[in-house]
Amino acid sequence: MLCNLCPRQCNALRTESDNIGGVCGMPELPRIARASLHFWEEPSISGKNGSGTVFFSGCSLHCVFCQNEDISAKNKGKAITVNDLADVFKRLEAQGAHNINLVTPTHFVDSIIAALDIYKPNIPVVYNSSGYESAQTLKRLQGYVDIYLMDFKYIDDNKAQLYSNAPDYSVVCKAALLEAYRQQNECVFSEGIMQRGLIIRHLLLPQATRDAVAIFDWVKENTPNAYFSIMSQYVPLGKASEMSIINRKVTSREYNKVVDYILNCEFDNCYIQELTSADKIFIPDFDYTGV
């Protein structure tokens, strides 16, 4: 296939085993590094039983601070077939997962749709994404995805260029979020577990409190029924440790400034991650568990 699934529009040649010219570096068939119950998502996603999380290898964004660099940039993972992927969904559901959580799925949308055609779980399907998505690709997922769990990383084009080589991120992400909201504009819960809806995440970065506030304001105005999740787990990893602006954790002052602003807006649909979450111990081992 000649791939233009993501906003990079690489027109890369992707075969079952190779990728020629693509930013994601992934072949056409899926590659995953872990498939297991995961307990560190938002409470309505993880619940008590855990989220049935499938970590896909490769990424089209490549943030300098990525916590999953082993699989997003170094391509660690095991190649599987579409039938194998459907079986992974079945196993996670049988283990009691509250949902099937597809992490960094963009470049494997074709295989995901094919696997869901083979087996559509009786639990929600979560599309867990960087937010750097083609709205056209998302339209193909209508009827397959129950919950969109999407990042809104940058509203400043300069930061998007510096940290992810994606100066169009803000424009692209807004369009993607509006498409996700069109599909799932009401959050529905059963016993505290989300069944349908949209959660928009923002990872608070050092020296970026104004950006976080601006992103929150956009979410509140444009997707008022969605949930907003402010994340404080930033740890300077990879190339970020060499960049003076972000070579540190978020300070208490930065964190409190953003959290106080959100709380004063009386926006009820909100998750606020504790500052103590900024620790490497929360990064999962990509040891092919469940693959």
**Residues facing 34 on adjacent strands:** 55
40-90 tens-digit pLDDT: 999 999 999 999 999 999 999 999 999 888 898 888 999 999 999 999 999
Cα(194)–Cα(146) distance, integer angstroms = 9
| 75 vs 219 pLDDT, higher one | 219
Task: Return the HEC string of 210-261.
Answer: HHHHHHHHHHHHHCCCCEEEEECCCCCCHHHHHCCCCCCCCCHHHHHHHHHH
- In degrees, rounded to 5, the angle at the alpha carbon of residue 266 between the alpha carbons of residues 260 and 272 is 50
- Which is nearest to 222 in space by CA: 185, 259, 256? 185
**Residues facing 255 on adjacent strands:** none
pLDDT band for 149, please (50, 70, 90 cuts). Answer: very high
101-147 tens-digit pLDDT: 999 999 999 999 999 999 999 999 999 999 999 999 999 999 999 99
Per-residue model confidence (pLDDT) at position 272: 96
Using left for φ > 0, alpha for ψ between -120 and 50, and beta otherwise, residue 129 falls in beta
**CB contact at 8 A, 218 and 155:** yes
Give 31-282's CATH code, choosing from 3.40.50.620, 1.10.3720.10, 3.20.20.70, 3.40.50.261: 3.20.20.70
226-265 tens-digit pLDDT: 999 999 999 998 899 899 999 999 999 999 999 999 999 9
Cα(193)–Cα(123) distance, integer angstroms = 11
153-175 tens-digit pLDDT: 999 999 999 999 999 999 999 99
Cα(144)–Cα(68) distance, integer angstroms = 26
Q: Find the farthest-apart pair of alpha carbons in the chain and give their distance in angstroms, rounded.
A: 52
Cα(278)–Cα(240) distance, integer angstroms = 15
In one letter, which amino acid is 36? Answer: S
Cα(229)–Cα(148) distance, integer angstroms = 13
Cα(235)–Cα(277) distance, integer angstroms = 9
SS3 33: strand
